[in-house]
Structure 1
């Protein structure tokens, strides 16, 4: 899937002060990302606070993004969880020509064995009508999907087309790149290692900061894919502080603070998450403002 090369962004779900979904803000963010040059949009991922949304709210988010995007960029939908039965049911029921692939996280909290992870994705693969991107994020799930398991899935199921790898360990990322089938995508799910992953042979990133600084971040990844080490590294170094700041008090509190600075949406998040502190907001605003002059 060529659509998975470059910069994808894991879109936030903007909320109003009363915690209802702000569809107008969501439209603005979609336009901002498309105009900024990102390559695809990821809908209802962790950054979108999907675990706090009910079914009707998820449909509202999906429909709003589909309409705002208007076919301009490929769309990836997050469908994941720790109940294999429920996820299989959702994936089997999902029918939409508007989405190009599914992003599915490794089961969290249960802490399955590698065989359990394999069987979970095997069950999903057998009912999916869309390509599947695996998602490994040990810091959230409590278990690490090892390269041997990922490569086994990649070899056994042709509709498993890539992995969003957020382990933060470049040795593990390199094992995936070295062992993967030709058409399988290794995609960074970790902003600080995004450029390193691309320079090592990965396909790109599904980014958080990329939706706040879409032009700069997508340019960095394009330069990395072109093996332009010097220029891509300059952009990485310029944004590296922001990569740390937006996760300082949890995701998506940080990236929503950037959007508040940009006047694209409110910084409100849903419990159990809380809005970024005034101190962090000030640091984030200080980080962002010089880039606004660059991209103006």
Structure 2
């Protein structure tokens, strides 16, 4: 009888410890960032090696333009085109600046073989980044929600004290699983899971994901061209490449925050102009190669050329983009 009592006591103690751990973990995992975040470009030199010396200047420029959050090594940051050591170096350079300027730093660790993703997630936690973002496995793709949740759980365990978000970008990954279902299931079993980056114009699905996120997760819109429509549906956060070089996204957000119907026309005009800017920039190629060119046209920050296999735009293409931006009332550097 005594041994049985001791057994019950030990079981209860373990249960209490687990409850305390879960409570502590929930406190650690309190992901509070909301608003607009810039996915930063990775500066390259003419020989396509890293140009880390540019990052302090870049970070100061973002701070001066009221940017409070950055995504490092994402699609715009060409993380998929770098090896593990390069991605670590870029992350290390950016975390110094993020801490200096009190910016939230999200680090994208996916788009690589799983052992490398685990290595990058562990490194992210060592750096004490604010959150990590991961793509799905890109070769052995998950075929159902459970497979994807299992993958996220593996990444989560590599960085058990860092909020984790999933990167939904079907135009590149061809992954079309339900994001509302993913959020619902991931919240049950992945303790560090805190939301997704939703890079798609399908706002019907986006709204469903937003509703599934509740108060404990976030859905970052990743499609600048539908920013206003997403905010109307209830979104409050976005990660957009154009936020690097244009205030239009910030203007839309501020107008929507006022909850003043008289401002809707102004917000719609901002969105129409932002969409026209996007069309003008992206008409000559891949999103990254064209946006990198636009960064050089619209800001003082030279982030260099995209790394192969992406190709640099020709002078004629850049000139055409420049002329189009001028027609839209933007000031360009050439």
Q: Same fold (TM over 0.5)?
A: yes
Q: 2:169·2:200 contact (CA, 8 Å) conserved in 1?
A: yes
1:264 maps to which of 291, 294, 301:
301
Decide whether the 8 Å contact of 1:144 with 1:167 is kept in 2.
no
Alignment partners' CA distance in 1, 2:156 and 2:89 = 26
Shift of 1:288: 4.0
Structure holding more helix per residue: 2
Over 3 Å counting, the alpha-carbon distance change for 1:24 and 1:284 in structure 2 is farther
CA–CA distance in 2 between the matches of 1:111 and 1:173? 21
Q: Which deviations, in whole Å up to 9, do the C-alpha atoms of 1:20-71 show, x marking residues without a partner?
A: 2223333332222221122301111121111222333223322322333414
Equivalent pair of 2:227/2:249 in contact (CA under 8 Å): no
Of 237, 242, 245 in structure 2, the residue corresponding to residue 212 of structure 1 is 245
Contact 2:110 2:136 in 1 (8 A): yes
Which sits farther off after the overlay, 37-46 or 236-245?
Answer: 236-245
Distance 1:179 1:62, change over 3 A: closer
1:106 corresponds to 2:166? no
Which structure 1 residue ranges, 5 or more long, are not aligned?
none
Confirm or deny that 1:224 pairs with 2:253: no
Q: Tell whether the 8 Å contact from 2:92 to 2:127 is kept in structure 1 after alignment.
A: no
1:232-285 C-alpha deviation (Å, 9 max, x unpaired): 222111111222344331131112112221342154111100012334312332
CA RMSD of aligned residues (A): 2.3
Instruction: Give 1:274's aligned residue.
Output: 311
What are the equivalent positions in structure 2 for 1:46-65 lying under 5 Å apart?
A: 46-65=75-94
Q: 2:172 aligns with which of 140, 144, 161?
A: 140
User: Unaligned regions of 5+ residues in structure 2, if any?
Assistant: 1-29
Give the TM-score normalised by the residue count of structure 2: 0.79
Matches within 5 A, 1:1-296: 3-69=32-98, 70-81=100-111, 83-114=113-144, 115-128=146-159, 129-146=161-178, 147-213=180-246, 215-228=247-260, 229-248=264-283, 249-261=285-297, 262-289=299-326, 290-292=329-331
CA distance in 2, matches of 1:22, 1:97: 20
Q: Flag the structure with more relative contact order, 1 or 2, with Cα contacts below 8 A and sequence separation at least 6.
A: 1
C-alpha separation in 1, matches of 2:141 and 2:248? 37
Q: Is the 8 A contact 1:134 1:163 kept in 2?
A: yes
TM-score by length of structure 1 reads: 0.89
What CA deviation, in whole Å up to 9, does each residue of 1:81-127 have, x standing for no partner?
A: 35334423432454335410001112224332123212111222233
